[in-house]
Each structure stands twice: as C-alpha cells, then as structure tokens.
Amino acid sequence: MKEHELKRQKELVELAGRVLIKNYRQPPIVMAAGRGAELWDVAGNRYLDMTSGIAVCSLGHSHPRLAARVARQAATLQHTSNLYFVEEQVLLAKDITDRCFADRVFFCNSGAEANEGAMKLARRYQRVVNGQDRDLIVSTINSFHGRSMATVSITGQEKYRTDFGRLLEPVKYVPFDDLDAAAQALEGREACAFIVEPIQAEGGIVVPSEKYLLGLRELTKATGTLLIYDEVQTGMGRTGKWFGHHHDDVAPDVMTMAKALGGGVPIGAVAASEQAAEGLAWKEGGAVPHATTFGGNPLACAAAREVFATIEEEDILANVVAVGDYLAERLGELAARYPGVCEGVRGRGLLRGLNTHAKAAAAGPIYAGARERGLLLSLAGGTVVRFAPPLIVTRAHVDEAIGILDDTLSAVAGSTGA
C-alpha cells in the first residue's frame, strides 16, 4: 500500500510540473488530509503543522464545528452577489464591529484585495470628504501588504517589486518603528494614508516599541492622514487579543483583515470608522466606487462567523496567551543552547520567530531540515524561522516541535560549525 501511495504522490508532483505555472518552489509533497495541528501527505507521511497555512487555519485543520457550518451553508446558499443583502454578511459585519473600533465593513476575498480597498478608500476620502488632492501613501521598510500590482507597490521589500515595471505612485517608505521618519514623511500634508502592520510579520516578526502606534496616531491626526492597520496576519486572535493593535489600545481609521478570518475559507475585509467609511460610500448619481462579485458571499461569511463563535466560546484567546508564552520560553531555551546559530526569540502570542545569525545562513537549512523531520515551519525576513501554528495548538504540540527543532539545530550547527 505504501508503494502505491508513494507512486501516486510522485505522479502528482510530475503532473504539477507540467500543468502549473512555476511560480512556487514546493518540495515534492502533496498534502492530502489534516486534523487539528497535523497534516498527512498523499504518501501517508505525517507532519506537525506549526505554520497553519501561513497563519490561516486558526482553528486547525478540519475543525468539526467549522466543517459542519460550511457544509450546512453549502447545502443552503453559496452565492448571490452583492446585488442583494446577504444575511451572513450583515451578521459577520456586526461580529467585527462589536469587537473593534470599526463602524462599517466592506468584504472581499483576500488580504491583497483588502489592502487595495483600503488604498482606494484613502485616496477617495481625501477628495470626496476632505476636498484635497492627496495621493501619497506612506508605508514602512520591510513591510508586506500583498502581491497585486497596487499592494506590491506599497510593500517595503524591493525583492517583491522587481521586474514588474512601473508600479503605483506616489509611495514613500520609512523605517518601521521610527516616529521621526514618519513625522518627516507626513509634514508636507501630501499623504492620504499611512499603512502599517502592528507587528511586521513577513518582515521578520518585528514588534515595535510601546509608543509607536500611539505616536503614529497623533501624527496622522495632526496632518489629516488616514491611519491604516494591516491586520491580515496579526488579526483574529493571533497575538492573544482579537487584533494586534489591541495590545496598544490605539485605534486606526481603517483596518484590513483576511487570512484567519475564514479559518481556511478565503475572505478579506476592510473595517473602517464611520467617517473614514465615507471614502467608499456611494454618492447619488455617481458610479459605485468599489465592488466585488464574490466578496462577502454566504459561504465565506458563514465560515468566518463560526470562527468568531468558536474562538469566543472555547476561550481560545486564553490558549493563545498561555501556549504562546510557553512556546516563547521553549524557543528561548533552544536559542541559548545554540548561540552560534540563534540570536533570540521575537513575537507575541502564537506569532513567534526564532531569529538566526545572518552570517550563519541557517534559516533556510533549519526550515528544510525541520520539514524533513516532520515539522512544518515558514521563514520571515530572511533570517527568522516563523511559528504561526493553529490557535488550538497544545503544549504537547510545542514540546514535539521543540524536540524536532532541537535535533535540526544540532545538525545545522554541526554542518556549519556554528
């Protein structure tokens, strides 16, 4: 039986090589099933998943409540478009506004779409509400906001912008966690918005200093600039609170969401204050300023509502805090054990990073070596090994992961002489 499964996986990998655009660099693994924090490939190999589909599968794989809710909705109503009100969409908007600063919500299908929607909102807000011609978007160096032409334009990593020709303009990048640089970028009152992640995730799991978001709030208010939080990766309980900025208690004008919002079902959202929401509001006699065919469909919204309910009713935020602290402690032990490879631990809640020495060039080998041993991780910022497990992960899962990572670090340290 195992021989048949291995053959099937090989055949699928070969077929993928013929029919898919080669934009990814996957290992020869075809995932077939998942349960909780575990995955199995077509060949029957089991993996401990500490990346949860890049911070998407917040309830883990095949959570019974989520699976049942999606099945019920699929058998009832999947899509109608936004030509009509959608019950689940309206109720999901309330779920979001009940838990954050926002008064209104626009739904879409991904983080990139959410950030594009927020950019359109900001530009139109300045024209329609403020009566000002302000196009500049200020972003931060090492940020990540999406892969579309517009969102890659505001992503502060050159490698993502290369070879696409002329991108969206004007955009200005400033160092993350640098209020002086932010003040200088905003002083000309040319910016329509300042977009920032409460924690830079793809940029290396970088947590800003305590007063950074507060300082940005004061600067943007003083200059009439909209403050946008990209909570695509830090939202939905990932850091131990509903949204990453709740640790600082500093509300933005606009917030974007996606990834874990649907627990694995694609959905994104732009949440805004009453005033900022006017940037996307329809005006009598004019064209609809922003729209989407699939955004906010009954299936995705039902899934997201179940994610909210499950996190709340099963007290999952408390688990994020407790197990997140335990993960940080165990990773710290490993960092101390392998000082030639590791520099320390970063992050908050269940968004954690093991920082490695750049000169050791160890992040890639750690990532690959852990996978070969059955542990799935991801990379962030080039030198950081990222942990973003399902929010239902247990201490036993952490202990297993640390054991595998210990073995991997030992091998990497031995091969590099670190």
**Percent of the chain surpassing pLDDT 90:** 95
- Angle at which helices 316-337 and 298-313 cross, to 10°: 80
- Indicate if 208 and 231 belong to the same structural domain: yes
Residue given tokens 């009566």 in the structure block: 131
| Domain membership flag for residue 72 | no
| Domain membership flag for residue 238 | yes
Query: Which pLDDT band holds residue 417 (cuts at 50, 70, 90)?
Result: low
CA 296 to each of CA 168, 180, 265, 269, 351: distance values in angstroms, whole numbers, following the listed order: 27, 39, 11, 8, 27
Angle (CA) 77-82-84 rounded to 5° is 75
Q: Could you read off the pLDDT of 174-221 as tens digits, one per residue?
A: 999 999 999 999 999 999 999 999 999 999 999 999 999 999 999 999
Q: Could you read off the pLDDT of 255-276 as tens digits, one per residue?
A: 999 999 999 999 999 999 999 9
- Indicate if 81 and 171 belong to the same structural domain: yes
Q: Supply the pLDDT for residue 58.
A: 96
For residue 9, pLDDT over 90 is answered with: yes
Question: What is d(CA 56, CA 241) in angstroms, rounded to the nearest whole number?
Answer: 16
- Indicate if 95 and 112 belong to the same structural domain: yes
The count of domains in the chain is 2
CATH of residue 348: 3.90.1150.10
- Indicate if 290 and 394 belong to the same structural domain: no
- Indicate if 166 and 43 belong to the same structural domain: no
Which among 1, 87, 81, 95 has a CA at the least distance from the CA of 43?
Answer: 1
- Indicate if 204 and 274 belong to the same structural domain: yes
CA 384 to each of CA 49, 51, 66, 286, 390: distance values in angstroms, whole numbers, following the listed order: 17, 13, 31, 48, 19
| Domain membership flag for residue 402 | yes
- Indicate if 323 and 309 belong to the same structural domain: no
- Indicate if 265 and 155 belong to the same structural domain: yes
- Indicate if 51 and 197 belong to the same structural domain: no
Q: Could you read off the pLDDT of 146-168 as tens digits, one per residue?
A: 999 999 999 999 999 999 999 99
Record the tokens describing residue 240, joined without a space: 């131990």
Domain boundary among 253, 281, 313: 313
Domain that includes residue 262, residue range: 77-313
Q: Considering only the C-alpha atoms of the chain, give the largest distance between any 2 of them, rounded to a whole number of Å.
A: 70
- Indicate if 262 and 323 belong to the same structural domain: no
pTM: 0.96
Query: Which pLDDT band holds residue 285 (cuts at 50, 70, 90)?
Result: confident
Domain boundary among 261, 292, 313: 313
Q: Could you read off the pLDDT of 77-115 as tens digits, one per residue?
A: 999 999 999 999 999 999 999 999 999 999 999 999 999
Count the Cβ atoms, other than its own, within 10 Å of residue 210: 10
**141 CB contacts (<8 Å, ≥6 apart)?**
156, 173, 174, 175, 176
Which among 275, 253, 227, 418 has a CA at the least distance from the CA of 339?
Answer: 418
| Domain membership flag for residue 104 | yes
CATH of residue 161: 3.40.640.10
| Domain membership flag for residue 345 | yes
Query: Which pLDDT band holds residue 418 (cuts at 50, 70, 90)?
Result: low
Question: CA end-to-end span of the chain, whole Å?
Answer: 42
- Indicate if 220 and 90 belong to the same structural domain: yes
Which among 256, 279, 252, 251 has a CA at the least distance from the CA of 268?
Answer: 256
| Domain membership flag for residue 69 | no
Q: Supply the pLDDT for residue 225.
A: 98
For residue 51, pLDDT over 80 is answered with: yes
Q: Could you read off the pLDDT of 315-348 as tens digits, one per residue?
A: 999 999 999 999 999 999 999 999 999 999 999 9
Mean pLDDT of the chain: 96
| Domain membership flag for residue 71 | no
For residue 277, pLDDT over 60 is answered with: yes
The HSE-up count of residue 315 (CA atoms within 13 Å, CB side) is 4
- Indicate if 247 and 367 belong to the same structural domain: no
